[in-house]
Copies of this chain bind each other. A is one copy, B any other.
Amino acid sequence: MSVSIKDIAKRVNRSITTVSRALNDYDDVSPETKQLILKTAKEMGYSPNSFAQRLQKQQSDTIGLILPTFSPRFSDPYFSELLAGIGNKAVDLGFDLLVSTRSPGPEENKAYEKLVEGGRVDGFIVVRTRNQDARIEYLLSKNFPFVAFGRTDDCNRFSYVDEDGYYGMQLVAEHLAGLNHEVIGCITPKPDLAFTEKRIAGLRDGLENYNIKLDPAYIKAGDLTQKSGYELGGELLDLPETPTAIVACNDLMAFGVMSAVQERGLVVGKDVSVTGFDDIPMSEFSHPPLTTVHQPVYQIGSMVCEMLVKIIRDESSEHQQILLKPSLIVRQSTGIYVKKAK
């Protein structure tokens, strides 16, 4: 089949040890032999069998990523970008990326266990953290390397990258308050997601600074899909006292809200302001373009991956915790609220 180190050894009349060491650039191989071996290796089209390497080295050079999918039709532009960030960095660092998708629950935990116990991966990237996060509990209990994108309740026990959603939502609050909005609706994900609470709190506290109250009846829990934004946005708009601004916790739901608004013959950014969170590429080209909180997902993917590899390689046990300060991208989906004559 494919050429092995043994074939090369035979060809150059050296031991397999020497060939191996030449290929790995050890310095107890003379420059000439090294040259020769490298050359014939290339000639013969040698490429190492990674399973043999990994078996011997007792490491997998593989990073695991299990995407939590909530519906069978999993379709989130946010994750594709994160995936690209992680994947490209992983390749740069010589790691493979093993991906699967699982909906949260026992099946998901089993998937983690299988990869850990089979020695299949050297570490995990855990995304979309939850408050009581079984995945994280498990990985901590096994002392298995991982980095999270997002925090949990007690989060100083591991490394993570997160964006400061509390602060981001304060920016939104400030922006909306500055536009005279007073009746504000909010569409969140399910409360078990770690960032849900933080974002609501940010919005609430931010509005309070301007003496605006966020009525709990105006907070609706969705599932981050456009569909739920559409439905819950509709519910908010059909309330007796219509909100003049609706804050969605991600862009996808914001798009859904915009559709609901427009369906009612209202103009987004004039009659009702809508904001999102994430700033996915689409947001710039929606109609109207979406005011949202930017999240550098691609870079976050890169960072998370790099941190994980560092942990895997160094066994450095101090936790690195990065909290990014978000910025607000103001576009045309928000505008001044002008009180209508009664």
A residues in contact (CB < 8 Å) with B: 1-2, 45, 47-52, 54-55, 58, 60, 67, 69, 72-81, 83-84, 87-88, 90-91, 96-101, 111, 114, 117-120, 225-227, 229-230, 252, 255-256, 258-259, 262-263, 280-282, 284-289, 298
| Smallest CB separation, A54 vs chain B (Å) | 5
Contact of A227 among B47, B252, B259, B284 (CB under 8 A): B284
B75 lies within 8 A of A282 (CB): yes
A288 to B225, CA, bound (A): 17
Contacts of A288 in B (CB 8 A): 262
- Given known A-B contacts A81-B75, A83-B99, A117-B2, A51 and B55 have beta carbons under 8 A apart: yes
Partner of A252, one of B52, B88, B282: B282
Q: Chain B residues with Cβ under 8 A from A80's Cβ?
A: 74-77, 79-80, 83
Contact B287 A258 (CB under 8 A): yes
Whole-angstrom CA separation of A298 from B230 in the bound complex: 23
**A50-B78 Cα distance, complex, nearest whole Å:** 32
Cross-chain contact of A263 among B2, B48, B281, B287 (Cβ < 8 A): B287
Cβ-closest chain B residue relative to A119 = B49
Interchain residue pairs A-B with the least CB separation, the first 5: A259-B287, A47-B117, A74-B84, A262-B287, A75-B77
Of B1, B50, B99, B117, the residue contacting A87 (CB under 8 A) is: B99
Q: Which B residues lie within 8 Å of A58 (CB)?
A: 1
